[in-house]
A = this chain, B = another copy of it.
Amino acid sequence: MAAQPIPAKIAASDGASTIVISVDAMGGDRGPAAVIAGCARFAQKTPEVGFILHGPETMLKPLVARRRALHGRCEIRHTEDVVTMDAKPSHVMRNGKGTSMWSAIEAVRNHEAEVCISCGNTGALMAVSMIRLRKLEGVNRPAIACLWPSRNPRGFNVMLDVGADIRADGNDLLTYAMMGASYARNGMGLTRPRIGLLNVGTEEHKGRAELKAANELIAAAAPAGEFDYVGFVEGGDIPSNRVDVIVTDGFTGNIALKTGEGTATLIREFLKAAFNATPLSRLAAMMALTSLRRLHKRIDPRRVNGGVFLGLNGTVVKSHGSADATGTAAAIKLAFDLAQSKFSARLAARVASATLARQDTAVDEPGTGEDK
**Candidate in A238, A251, A255 with the most chain B CB atoms within 10 angstroms:** A255
The main secondary structure of chain A at its interface with chain B is helix
Interface presence of A298 (CB below 8 A): yes
Q: Are B251 and A208 in contact (CB under 8 A)?
A: yes
CB neighbours (8 Å) of A236 from chain B are 258-259, 261-262, 265
Q: Are A295 and B280 in contact (CB under 8 A)?
A: no
A200–chain B nearest beta-carbon distance, Å: 4
Name A288-309 residues within 8 Å CB distance of B. Answer: 288-292, 294-295, 298-299
Copies of the protein in its oligomer: 2
0/1 string, A262-288, CB within 8 A of B gives 1: 111111011101110110110111011
Q: Are A262 and B277 in contact (CB under 8 A)?
A: no
Interface presence of A327 (CB below 8 A): no
Q: Are B292 and A274 in contact (CB under 8 A)?
A: yes
| Complex: A251 Cα to B232 Cα, angstroms | 14
Q: Are A262 and B238 in contact (CB under 8 A)?
A: yes
Q: Are B267 and A294 in contact (CB under 8 A)?
A: no
Given the known interface contacts A239-B266, A252-B255, the answer about A290 and B280 at a Cβ–Cβ threshold of 8 Å is yes
Interface presence of A166 (CB below 8 A): yes
Q: Are B267 and A288 in contact (CB under 8 A)?
A: no
Q: Are B275 and A262 in contact (CB under 8 A)?
A: no
Q: Are A294 and B266 in contact (CB under 8 A)?
A: no
Q: Are A264 and B263 in contact (CB under 8 A)?
A: yes
**Candidate in A163, A267, A285 with the most chain B CB atoms within 10 angstroms:** A267
| Contact surface of A with B, Cβ cutoff 8 Å | 149-151, 163, 166-167, 198, 200, 207-208, 234-240, 248, 250-252, 254-267, 269-271, 273-275, 277-278, 280-281, 283-285, 287-292, 294-295, 298-299
For residue A162, which residue of chain B has the nearest CB?
B200
CB neighbours (8 Å) of A277 from chain B are 291, 294
Q: Are B255 and A198 in contact (CB under 8 A)?
A: yes
Q: Are B285 and A281 in contact (CB under 8 A)?
A: no
CB neighbours (8 Å) of A285 from chain B are 288, 291
Q: Are A261 and B274 in contact (CB under 8 A)?
A: no
CB neighbours (8 Å) of A257 from chain B are 235
Q: Are B295 and A271 in contact (CB under 8 A)?
A: yes
Pairs of residues from A and B, 4 with the lowest C-beta to C-beta distance, nearest first:
A235-B258, A236-B262, A235-B259, A284-B288
